[in-house]
Each structure stands twice: as C-alpha cells, then as structure tokens.
A and B are shown apart, each in its own frame.
Chain A
Amino acid sequence: MSCNLPGGLRVKGPGEANLIRVDDLKKTYGQNVAVDGISFQAAKGEIFGLLGPNGAGKTTTISIISGLLEATTGTVMVDGRAMSPTASGVKKSMGVVPQEIALYEELSARENLRFWGGLYDMSGSRLTQRVAEVLDLVGLADRAGDAVKTYSGGMKRRLNLGLGLVHEPGLLLLDEPTVGVDPQARLSILDVIRAAAREGTTVLYTTHYMQEAEELCHRLAILDHGKILAEGSVDELKKMVGEGEVVTVHGNFTAQQMHLALEGHPHVRTISLEDHKAMLAVAGDGGSARLLQDLLGQALEVNGVNVRPPSLEQVFIKLTGRDLRD
C-alpha cells in the first residue's frame, strides 16, 4: 500500500517492493573507512536522499551503487539483481548523473543525448523520440543543435541531468547535481527530477543542501563519517527535534547561565547550547512566548529571538552536535 501526496509525490507503503536495497555496505581504503556499514532501501518512484557534509561518504556510496567502485563488504541489489562493476545488465537500468558536468563540449545537446542513449542500447525512432522528449524536459529544445561549449553553466547542468534520463532508467543516481547552480536553474533541475519520479523512476539523490533535500526527498538518510545517523521521511526526522517550534536565542549570556535558566522547564528541550547562542525545541501552543518571558524574568540579557518550525538543519545539529557547514 502506498499513499499519494500533493504535487504527485508518493511514498512507499508497507510491503511495497524495493527497487534498490543496500545492505551493510562498507568501503575501506587501508585504515580509512569511507563507508561504514550503511543499509537503506528505496521503492519505485521514490526520491531517497543521502544528506551529509562533504566527506560523509555520499559519493563513495553512489560510486559503489553505480558500479564504479567495488564494495569491501556488503551488497547492492537493484530490482532484485546484484550490482557489481561488471554487471552490465544492471547498469542498463540505471542512470548516473555525476557531480561534475560530464559532457562532450564539441558536440551538440542532441548528439550528446544520442550517444548516451546509444550506449544504453537505444536506437532508431525510439531513440530519436526519447531525445526529443528529454530536450523538452530539460528546456533545451531550442538550442539542441548548438555545440555544448556555447551553453551557460545552468544549461550544461540541465543537459548533464538529461543524459542520465535519456534511456528511461528505473533508478537514477544523482550526485549533488545542483552544485554551483543559480537558484533559477536549481528549481528547474528539481522540477525535472520530480517529473522523473512521477514517471516511476526511483531517484537516489545526494546533497548537502538541507533545504533542497527537504523540498525534494520523500525519505532521507543523514550520513556522517560513513555512517547513517538517522533515516526516515522529512517529517519523521523533524520529529526527532520536537513537535512544536524551534527557538534560537542570541544574547549576552554564557552556556552555563542558559542551562541553569532552562533547568526544569517542562516544554523545552535543548538542541544546542553555546555561549551567546541557544537553540531550543519548544512544545505546545504559546510555548515560545512563555519561554521568552521566563528567560527575561531570570535577567538574562537577550538580544534576539528567532522562532521557526523545525528544519533538517536542526535535526543534523541535534544528531552531530555541529552545523552542516562545519
């Protein structure tokens, strides 16, 4: 059973078959552990995000799944078949969009798409039709015959994504596809990914942009130092912070003073606490206002207060004790 969300999004229901299943995946380079026994699965049409800072192991995970690297231990099953660097049958059902823009600059968008489609055994009118569809999808139909080297950065990013979609893959692997892209191009890329998912493509998406992951992904795994710290839907992850609001307090106080002020407070949980800044999860209606009154009542010098609903950034801070930008 599955349920549909507004905008055509859907999440896997219990018992629905997983298109990709990763079990206890580990990759080591000598003493360095890049991926440390991670496991997850994603269903058909699901957008699954791997969220984590640089060096968390996202690209290594994607590289193993796409067959570019061999895992030290663990298995990757795609549509019931084991993935390995030589499993060309499994590779046919996957589209890979690397982090860097990997295009042939001398060729046109159409020629690039035709080549990559051909490499995945597409040919004839089917290929021609699909190339036209992808050109429309990524908004490059009017520039299809121009050499890629004449394109803007955003156009190249969109084509880079299109190359991964041309052969209609069942599983699309996206490794930070919006790095260095302007906001307009980013929105366009996210729209294309959503459209692919609506068509039934499972998307495995790595990013370190919290907002992007929150907007796009049906489910997420938060990755750090090669391990999955938490996994679930965005709402499930946010609940780890709290049901109410997140209050960030800035002022002339120490962490110790704030800790004493909050001690025994029934509706407040601390997310993070340092000198001059406290991030607090507050439950219940009007809880934020009561908290503020209490703090002012204890003569703490407060310079600013920010009240927001919980976000993934706060989840990450709660899990790792540090900001994602660190």
Chain B
Amino acid sequence: MLSIALMVAKDLRRRLRAPVGLIVLLIFPLAFAGMVGMAFGPSSGSGSVLPVITILMVDHDDDLLSQALENATGNEEFSQQFHMVWIEEEGEARRMMDDGEASALLILPQNFTADLLDGKAVTLALIKNPAQSILPQVVEEMAGVLGVFLDTGVRILGEPLKAGSETFKGMEKDGNLFPDNQALVALTLQAAAKVRPISRYVFPPAMIFATVSESDVTPATLLQASPADTVDDLRRRQAAQAGDKEVNDDGVEEGGFNIFAILLPMVSLMSILFMGDNGMRDLLAEEKAGTLTRQFASPAGVGRVLLGKIVLTLVICCGAMLLLAVAGMALGWISTSISVAGAVLQVGAVALAATGMSSFIYGFARSERAASTFQSAMVMGMSMLGGSMVPYNQMPAFLQATAPYTINYWGIRGLTDLTARGLGAADVLQESGVLLLIGMLGMAIGWWRLSRRYALGSTA
C-alpha cells in the first residue's frame, strides 16, 4: 500500500507542477453554471429579484367576472409577487397614484362582466406610475395576459358564464342564499361540455393514479404533486417536508428553487468524467516516457502500478468534486447544510464511476489519441443523454429512455437530491449503488485488460 501511496503522491505532485488542464476542467462547470444560472434563473437562489408590486384596483362592475378576478388575485402564490389593493372610489385611487403609493392603477369599467359575456368590446384602463420604469411595465404585461385570458375564457365558456351570472342575479333578487340545484347542475354540465374537448390541449392532467401507502405520502404532498411527478418524486418530497426547513443568515427560508443547485451538479458531472481521462491517460504518457516500464521492473510490479493509476484517477475525481462543492458553497449556490454522509457517498460513487469508465476505455485503447477520442465521444454522448447539457426530461421520450444507462443521469439525480432537494444519504442509496456498480465493473474490465496487456510485456 505504501508504494501505491508513493505513486499517487508523485503523480499528484506532477499534476500540481502543470495544473492548467485540471484548472480548466475545474473552472468550466463553475463558469458554465454561473453563466446559465444568471441568464435563466434568479440570483443565488434567494428568490425573485423583483420587489412586490403594488397594484390599485377600482371595480365599477361588481359582477361575476370582476369578483372572480378579485378572488383569483387574492391567492397566496400571486400575493408573493403582487400586492392588490381594491379601492371603492376611483378618486381615492387616483390620489394614491399621484402620491406614488402604487406601481399602477387598473380600472374595471361598469358592465364589464355583462359586456364581456355579450361579446362587446371592453376597455380596461391602466394608469402607470411615471416615477417607476420596470414595475409598471410588468403590470402592463400582466394586464395584457389578463385580457387574453378573459377573451379566451369568454369565447369558450361564454354561454355557461352568462347563464351562471343570470342564475346568481335571480338568486339575489329572490333573496335565496343558495342557487337552485337543478340550475347549478345544468350550468356545471354545460361548462364541462365546453371544456372537455379542449382540456387535453389546454390543461395538463389534473389527476394521476399511483398506488402509494399511507406512510409514503400525506395529502399535503399529493396536493402539491405535478403531472410529471413519479411516485419516487412524491416520496422524496414527502421526506423533504418531514425534515425541518432551515433559515439562512438572511432570513430566507431554504429549500426554494435554486437553479445553481441543479446546474452545478449537471455540468460538474461532465467535467468529472473528463477528469477521469486526465488520470488514466497518465498510464500511456508514462509508457511513452519509459517510466512505466521502469516501475514495472521495480518491486511494485505491474499490479500495483496499475492500481496506483486507478487510485490516482479516483483521488483526482474526488478532489475535484470536493473543490467544486466548496466553490459552490462559497458562491452561495449550494447550501452549507447539505447531508455530509450523503455527499460523501454520492461524491465517492460518482468518482468511482468516472474512474471505472476511464479504466474501461484505457483498457481497450492502444494510444493516447484513440483513448482521448473515445473518452470524449463517450463523455459528450452521456452528458447529452444523461442530463448534463439539457435536463433529460426535456428530451424526446425515446431519448429519455436511454438516460438511465448513463453515469450522468444517476450522478445528477443523486447530487441534486442533496443540493437542490435537501435530502440525505438514505435517499441517494439507489443512485450511489448504481454508480458504484458501474465503477466496479468498469475498473474490473479495465484492470483485466491492462494487466493482461502489460503482463505480456508489450512495453519491453
């Protein structure tokens, strides 16, 4: 073992004397994740960069659609970005605008609901705060979307909505608290008949069927489920909900969407696979330099020299992942409170898989060029299919089916479970297990091929 440690230490020292290759491979995932994250995601995962936008609403209509709008904008998710203030008097609202108390004022005109349901043109008045530049623009865009939404909704559901409006008006007139059951059923059926033909194009499935036990998930978890979720996803979310949410120094609750916590593992996987090549390539470089043969002639022999190169590759991959994790934490991309046991397990498994792949390739390649070409093709192919370049679930179904045959898929799945979902070691056992299996298999085949080649004395 001492001779293996000596060989690894010597090779690491050589790497440190000429570190450019490794530095580039280390910087690449950080730079790439940083650029993509800044372009497409919120900064440093602490939530939206926009402040909450205050919108004044004046309702001259006070009918079905304006009331529905008031209800819809009152939900919690909407309130996180928009603060809707409903004002009865338009004059008061205009005074507040003059005082700069809101970003915009939206006025719903009289007969808004009736005119809309009758198919007449309706004009919404939007008054923007001239002292602000971006926020009123956001409100204008939102109002435009609202217009499209209402227009489409009325075209599809105009008749049942009109009937509903009349039913509710008649109910008020008669002094009833509840509508007539028959009229309500008729309205519902009418609306359903309109929606059903277009539902498969407009709405995602509202329900999925999966058999889960009571201990697996709670109703709260199911309510948050999306159509793309698998049972495993639900179980993971359940586990995440069961854990205590932590609050960082800024008082921001962690566990929200953090694009960097997903991007960094994605790109890092590709980089680590390339680093595997960097370790094993040394075998052929030393063969060319004559130092490999010289080591074979030493008491270390073929076996320990080969094992030394495999351990070197493993150390390089583990070290690189550790540095990337530390850099990710320093940049605030990864939580400092991720599961240490899970990280050790998954990092070790990824490093082993990368080493196994390189051992396999160098077991068959006869020259540096052949090995490098094959390794590059393998890494790029697996990165494409396994989710290092594009999230694998964004790809066509037939390509998605190939993802589980890549190291990247299992590596990214396990790492993002730790970095983005805050899960622990027990939750990444499957991913780590698959990676360990790939690694051991690759190393065994590579070892067999290499020891056979060198034992035959091709270098002498």
Interface of A toward B, CB cutoff 8 Å: 59-60, 63, 66-70, 85-86, 88-89, 91-92, 94, 96, 98, 100-107, 111, 115-116, 118-121, 147, 163
Contact = CB atoms under 8 A, between A and B. Distances in A.
B14 A66 contact: no
Nearest to B290: A102
Contacts of A106: 13-14, 17-18
26 contacts: A63-B457, A63-B460, A67-B297, A68-B297, A69-B457, A70-B457, A88-B299, A89-B299, A91-B298, A91-B299, A96-B294, A98-B290, A98-B294, A102-B289, A102-B290, A102-B291, A104-B14, A106-B14, A106-B17, A107-B10, A107-B13, A111-B10, A111-B13, A118-B6, A119-B300, A120-B298
A107 B18 CA distance: 10
Contacts of B7: 119
A85 B293 contact: no
A244 B290 CA distance: 45
Contacts of B300: 88, 119
A104 B291 contact: yes
B456 to A, nearest CB: 9
Contacts of B457: 63, 68-70
B296 interface: yes
Question: Most chain-A Cβ atoms within 10 A of its Cβ — which of B10, B18, B297, B298?
Answer: B297
A236 B454 CA distance: 41
Interface in B444-459: 455, 457, 459
Interface in B176-195: none
A103 B17 contact: no
Nearest first, the 5 closest Cβ-Cβ pairs linking A and B are A102-B290, A88-B299, A106-B17, A68-B460, A63-B460
B6 A119 contact: yes
A314 B10 CA distance: 48
A66 B297 contact: yes
B301 A115 contact: no
B298 A85 contact: no
B420 interface: no
B13 A86 contact: no
A100 to B, nearest CB: 4
B299 A121 contact: yes
A85 B455 contact: yes
A67 B13 CA distance: 28
Contacts of B18: 106
Interface in B267-317: 289-291, 293-302
A67 B460 CA distance: 10
B88 to A, nearest CB: 80
B3 interface: yes
A82 B369 CA distance: 39
A68 B459 contact: yes
Contacts of B10: 104, 107, 111, 115
A102 B297 CA distance: 12
Interface in B407-443: none
Interface string B378-411: 0000000000000000000000000000000000
A85 B301 contact: yes
B6 A68 contact: no
Contacts of B299: 88-89, 91-92, 119-121
A107 B293 contact: no
Given A88-B299, A89-B299, A119-B298, 17 more contacts: A67-B297, A68-B459, A85-B455, A92-B299, A96-B294, A96-B297, A98-B293, A102-B290, A104-B14, A106-B17, A106-B18, A107-B13, A107-B17, A118-B2, A118-B6, A120-B299, A147-B17
B278 to A, nearest CB: 14
A121 B299 CA distance: 9
